[in-house]
């Protein structure tokens, strides 16, 4: 007899280093909920039988409170919820903090597909090839509406927002092919916005990678930097009308009118698309907007190039 129809997992396969931590927390919370649900049902049934009215007109006797019982049913739930909170916080921090050595991939959501670019420049649509044993950081954005990048086997999911960058990371542990979904309703063909993640052994991945020739995000960003005449103002040694951009990623900068901002990826994107949104102290608002002129993929490439630039070694560094 063929049992293939019944051979399906209740839960997705564990295929990343994060999966076991997420599942352990989930099953612990599920077990606690099941235990107390059963306990309440059993006690309710016992009380129903023991204290039921047995004679017509019978009036129950008043029951006085028990301090010990009240303290017990307050302390035990407090301990359980604090355990869940601490454990959940630990898992959350693990999920949102990519390792220092993570390789950065770029993904752009668009109705109704995922456009993905590798650090080496290889591009894919609705597919993502990765090696086992290597931390992968995904930088995500959307060209239109809110999407959600979800890989059940890796236990990772992150909303993908237009006009903003979000990130997630994972380290695949098992070669194989796994589902990639959009988990946020994004329009009429939302159910068709599916893809796959192909996990390969490192040697096989390198062979696959060598099969496609493409510019890296940094090289493509350098071309865009020249194409849009960014080199006219952002000159080395701070000699241009704008600041030299080498080494600025992650810095805190003073703004016109007071306040400051951290130059993270979202700041750099905003500075390209809406350069007057946050004016750097000491510089005039001369930069034109590139809103609608550069695609989201192009902006990601520009940011990758800017982040690759070395800090200006000269003592004549920029005012910024």
Please tell me whether residue 245 adopts helix, strand or coil conformation: coil
Tell me the C-alpha distance between 109 and 112, whole Å.
7
Domain at 10-46+68-214: CATH architecture: Sandwich (2.60)
Domain boundaries for CATH 1.10.760.10 within the chain: 217-308
Burial (CB count <10 Å: 0-12, 13-18, 19+), residue 52:
exposed
pLDDT of residue 43: 92
Q: Can you say whether the dihedral through the CA atoms of 165, 170, 176, 178 is positive or negative?
A: negative
Residue written as tokens 């693990």? 94
Alpha-carbon distance 149 to 305, whole Å? 25
Which H/E stretch holds residue 89? helix 67-96
Q: Which residues of the chain have pLDDT under 70?
A: 1-9, 212-214, 235-240, 311-320
Q: At which residue do the structure tokens 């077990």 appear?
A: 31
In the chain, residues under CATH classification 2.60.40.420 are 10-46+68-214
DSSP state of 162: B
Burial profile 277-314: b = 16 or more Cβ within 10 angstroms, e = fewer: ebebeebeeebeebeeebebbbbbbbbbbbbebeebee
> What 3-state class would DSSP assign to 28?
helix
Q: How many CB atoms lie within 10 A of CB 256?
A: 14
Peptide bond into 290 cis (omega under 30): no
Residue-wise pLDDT for 62-73, tens only, equals 777 788 888 988
Query: How far from each other are the two terminal CA atoms of the chain, in whole angstroms?
Result: 74
Omega of the bond prior to 187 within 30 degrees of 0, cis? no
pLDDT digits (tens, 9 = 90+) for 48-61: 888 887 777 777 77
Write down the CATH number for the domain with range 217-308. 1.10.760.10
Q: Cα separation of 257 and 280, whole Å?
A: 9
Q: Based on C-alpha coordinates, what's the Rg of the chain?
A: 28
* Bridge pairing between strands 176-182 and 194-200: antiparallel
Tokens 């001369």 correspond to 286
């Amino acid at each position: 007899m063929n049992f293939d129809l019944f051979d399906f997992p209740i839960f997705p396969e564990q295929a990343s280093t994060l999966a076991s931590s997420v599942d352990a927390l989930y099953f612990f919370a599920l077990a606690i909920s099941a235990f107390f649900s059963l306990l309440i049902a059993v006690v309710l049934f016992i009380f129903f039988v023991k204290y039921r009215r047995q004679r017509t007109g019978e009036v129950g006797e008043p029951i006085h409170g028990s301090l010990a019982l009240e303290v017990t049913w307050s302390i035990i739930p407090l301990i359980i919820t604090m355990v869940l909170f601490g454990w959940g916080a630990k898992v959350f921090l693990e999920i949102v903090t990519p390792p220092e050595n993570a390789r950065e991939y770029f993904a752009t959501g668009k109705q109704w597909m995922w456009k993905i670019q590798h650090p080496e420049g290889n591009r894919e649509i609705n597919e993502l090839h990765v090696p086992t044993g290597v931390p992968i950081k995904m930088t995500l954005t959307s060209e239109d509406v809110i999407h959600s990048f979800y890989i059940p086997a890796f236990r990772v999911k992150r909303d993908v927002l237009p006009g903003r960058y979000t990130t997630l990371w994972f380290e695949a542990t098992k070669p194989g092919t796994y589902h990639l979904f959009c988990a946020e309703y994004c329009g009429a063909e939302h159910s068709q916005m599916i893809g796959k993640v192909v996990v390969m052994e490192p040697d096989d991945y390198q062979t696959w990678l060598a099969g496609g020739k493409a510019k890296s995000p940094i090289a493509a960003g350098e071309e865009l930097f020249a194409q849009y005449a960014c080199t006219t103002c952002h000159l080395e040694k701070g000699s241009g009308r704008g600041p030299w951009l080498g080494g600025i990623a992650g810095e805190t900068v003073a703004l016109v009118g007071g306040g400051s901002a951290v130059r993270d990826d979202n700041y750099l994107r905003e500075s390209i698309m809406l350069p007057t949104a946050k004016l750097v102290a000491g510089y005039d608002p001369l930069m034109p907007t590139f809103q609608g002129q550069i695609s989201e993929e192009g902006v990601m490439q520009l940011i990758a190039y800017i982040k690759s630039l070395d800090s200006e070694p000269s003592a004549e560094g920029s005012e910024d």
